[in-house]
């Protein structure tokens, strides 16, 4: 059948079972939007307030559903406004396809109006990207983009389409998507047997879990593995929800803002089993002091991560779920009683905690959210102190319920991601925890939540400062608070109400429960502006570059 390039694009999206696109129109994509208009009953378009909001919403949709997130923007500034969201998805291995328009082929490379080399700009932050210069290649390119975004280690792919390509006509033949096969060809019996020998000889093992467990949907296999090994389990920020936080083997997050028990376990273990984790600098800190007594077994789908930051003694490259299944099949139950008693002692001696002094505490707010949602909400966050308090005090027990920018640390990410997560899971409660600095970066997306009647809840931990930067200034820069006091005088409640949302100002603990209860029963977006003290810091904390056992605790 003869179709225009724009119509072929829509048909290819339908082939991939795309039901939602987040975007913002412009001249270079007007033909695509015209085709979308004709197929609005099959593909829902969410008009965000800014292209960055579209990219974050596509990212949040992907993380919360496990499907590919799709965003669409015009050429020039529309395309460059996607860049931060694409980089966010790339750092956290999120499957996304970003579609951009560009100027007609004859105008490429001539500094034409709203022209940028978006494939050149995004080359370092995509798994792959394409510019389509022949309409006959469009269908195969889109299909390949979706395949690349999902196969192996997921990530974003960009497809740039010049405007005249969307208008040209060629033959379209429908195809079924290529099945995504698990990466198993590098998993050998020798590797499995070596891992089993390590496990059997270890007396003090520690399982270190990253976001790869969630990507692989390997939660159940991980629990079975941990219970067989009888090992404590810690996780990275991106691994939250990959192992139930309520499980007796769980020791909490590891690294800069991890628990002291996790950091001590990493320092004292004789075998570190890294599963779907990349040994980020925020986890390992001082390389030569990280797990100094341990052999390292690294299980990951991406061979590029092996020996990149930490040398592994043994590794298995492949789909995490498949590796764990094979290990579980052969692994005899272990007993590491003295080690487990030691870890239990650390957990009891160094629990997470905070001083209650009558003021509204951010930790209390997060604990109350967990209590009132019974741990069943999807939580998105912004970046900074709000993110760390959420990671520490909300007990995530299921995958795809903690959604946050880990690798890039993108302020302004959370609200767009919250919208995307809610669109992908309309039946679930979705809450964004924010700082006042991050919230004001992309607060315009409240208009999107209002337009589509999304009853999301935003909880702002408002300390009037850029909290995490101020914390570093407080601890390491002799209290020189350079440009971290916001003091803008913005009335956030009036701002929220101007968008059409409900807003509640909260200054005391006794007010929070009532306001949050109202938010839970509301059918419109609600913002809870919780005023907290600007001197409140995130603890525990390991100074950058210090051994992770050197934990600063409050007081």
Residues acting as catalytic residues: 51, 113-114, 163, 468
Helix runs in 81-188, H state only: 83-91, 118-122, 138-150, 163-167
Rounded Cα distance, 15 and 10, in Å = 9
> Rounded distance, CA 413 to CA 50, Å?
12
Whether the CA torsion 82, 83, 85, 90 is positive or negative: it is: positive
Task: Please give the Cα distance from 426 to 423 (Å, whole number).
Answer: 5
Q: Tokens in use for 327?
A: 């290990």
Whole-angstrom Cα distance, residue 413 to residue 411?
5
Note whether 467 and 534 are within 8 A (CB): yes
Q: Which residues of 245-282 are buried (b: 16+ CB within 10 A; e: fewer)?
A: beeebbbbbbbbbbbbbbbbbbbbbbbbbbbbbbbbeb
Task: Assign 77 to helix, strand or coil.
Answer: helix
Q: Where are the beta strands (DSSP E) in 306-438?
A: 314-317, 378-381, 402-403, 430-435
Neighbours of 124 (CB within 10 A): 8
User: How does 64-96 read in b/e, with b if 16+ C-beta sit within 10 Å?
Assistant: bbbbbbbbbbbbbebbbbbbbbbbbbbbbbbbb
Contact between 148 and 127 (Cβ < 8 Å):
yes
Give the Cα separation of 114 and 370 in Å (integer): 46
C-alpha 492/C-alpha 502 separation (Å) is 11
Nearest of 207, 182, 209 to residue 277 by alpha carbon: 209
Instruction: Give percent helix, percent strand, percent coil of the chain, each to the nearest 5.
Output: 40, 20, 40
């Amino acid at each position: 059948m003869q179709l225009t390039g724009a119509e072929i694009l829509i048909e290819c999206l339908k082939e991939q079972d795309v039901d939602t696109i987040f975007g913002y129109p412009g001249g270079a994509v007007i033909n695509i939007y015209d085709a979308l208009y004709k197929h609005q009953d099959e593909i829902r378009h969410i008009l965000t307030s800014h292209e960055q909001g579209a990219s974050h919403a596509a990212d949040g949709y992907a993380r919360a559903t496990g499907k590919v997130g799709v965003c669409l923007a015009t050429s020039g500034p529309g395309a460059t406004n996607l860049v931060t969201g694409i980089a966010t998805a790339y750092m956290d291995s999120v499957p996304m396809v970003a579609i951009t328009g560009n100027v007609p082929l004859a105008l490429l490379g001539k500094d034409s109006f709203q022209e940028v080399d978006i494939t050149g700009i995004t080359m370092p932050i995509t798994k792959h990207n394409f510019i389509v210069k022949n309409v006959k290649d469009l269908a195969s390119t889109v299909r390949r983009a979706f395949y690349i975004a999902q196969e192996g280690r997921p990530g974003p792919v960009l497809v740039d389409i010049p405007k005249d390509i969307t208008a040209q006509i060629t033959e379209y033949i429908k195809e079924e998507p290529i099945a995504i096969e698990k990466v198993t060809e590098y998993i050998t019996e020798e590797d499995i047997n070596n891992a089993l020998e390590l496990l059997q000889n270890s007396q003090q093992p520690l399982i270190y879990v990253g976001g790869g467990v969630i990507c692989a949907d390997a939660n159940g296999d991980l629990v079975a593995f941990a219970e067989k090994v009888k090992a404590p389990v810690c996780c990275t920020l991106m691994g939250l929800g990959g192992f139930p936080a309520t499980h007796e083997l769980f020791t909490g997050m590891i690294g800069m803002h991890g628990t002291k028990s996790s950091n001590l376990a990493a320092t004292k273990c004789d075998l570190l089993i890294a599963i779907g984790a990349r040994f980020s600098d925020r986890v390992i800190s001082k390389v030569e002091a990280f797990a100094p007594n341990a052999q390292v077994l690294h299980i990951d789908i991406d061979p590029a991560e092996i020996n990149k930051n930490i040398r592994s003694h043994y590794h298995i490259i492949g789909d995490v779920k498949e590796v764990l299944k094979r290990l579980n099949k052969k692994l005899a139950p272990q007993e590491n009683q003295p080690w487990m008693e030691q870890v239990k002692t650390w957990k009891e001696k160094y629990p997470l905690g905070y001083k209650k002094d009558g003021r509204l505490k951010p930790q209390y707010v997060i604990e109350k959210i967990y209590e009132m949602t019974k741990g069943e909400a999807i939580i998105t966050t912004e970046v900074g102190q709000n993110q760390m308090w959420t990671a520490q005090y909300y007990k995530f027990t299921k995958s795809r319920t903690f959604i946050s920018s880990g690798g890039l640390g993108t302020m302004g990410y959370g609200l767009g991601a919250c919208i995307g997560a809610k669109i992908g899971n309309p039946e679930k409660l979705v809450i964004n925890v924010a700082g006042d600095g991050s919230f004001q970066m992309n607060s315009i997306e409240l208009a999107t939540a209002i337009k589509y009647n999304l009853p999301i809840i935003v909880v702002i931990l408002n300390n009037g400062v850029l909290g995490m930067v101020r914390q570093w200034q407080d601890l390491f820069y002799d209290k020189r608070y350079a440009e971290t006091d916001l003091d803008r005088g913005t009335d956030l409640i009036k701002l929220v109400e101007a968008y059409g949302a409900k807003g509640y100002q909260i200054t005391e603990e006794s007010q929070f429960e009532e306001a949050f209860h109202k938010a839970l029963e509301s059918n419109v977006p609600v913002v809870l502006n919780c005023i907290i003290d600007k001197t409140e810091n995130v603890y525990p904390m390991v100074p950058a570059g210090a051994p992770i056992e050197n934990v600063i605790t409050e007081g």
